[in-house]
Amino acid sequence: MAEHGKRVLIIDDEETVGIGMSEMLKDAGFKADYVTSGKDGLDVLKDTECSLVFMDMIMPGLGGLETYREIKKIRPGVKVVLFTGYFKDADRDIFQGVKEGMIDAYIRKPFFSEEIVSTASRYA
């Protein structure tokens, strides 16, 4: 198991997703934290160096795209992977994010642990 000690932050309003993903990543040797809102994620990133953020696209309050724009102001170098279940405007939002050069990678829910770990290994 790789002990790379890279720090990954998960932002998802569903706590079960945050717990599941952070455990998966910890098992793979990453340092992983999760928060349940875009605002909390921004607070963490102000104080903590992360190499990668996994973030849900659809959250109450600050949504994925808005949070992403703020993340890039605070930590321009951080990689962000957006994920979401299917929703009507997903493709429009994803297209907008790609157009703005914001989305580093994209994962659709439900996802598999190998997908999360391999994405983290690639980008973190």
CATH number at residue 80: 3.40.50.2300
Q: Does residue 2 lie in a domain region?
A: no
Provide the number of structural domains found in the chain: 1
| 40 pLDDT above the threshold of 90 | yes
Rounded Cα distance between 114 and 104, Å, is 18
Q: Does residue 22 lie in a domain region?
A: yes
Domain residue limits at 22: 7-123
Band (1; pLDDT cuts 50, 70, 90): very low
Of 65, 50, 15, nearest to 35 (Cα)?
A: 15
Q: Does residue 1 lie in a domain region?
A: no
Residues forming a β-bridge with 55: 11, 82
- Under 8 Å between Cβ of 104 and 75: no
Rounded Cα distance between 36 and 15, Å, is 6
Residues forming a β-bridge with 106: 82
- The pLDDT tens digits of the residues spanning 57-116 come to 878 888 888 898 899 899 999 988 877 765 666 667 766 766 776 655 666 666 667 778
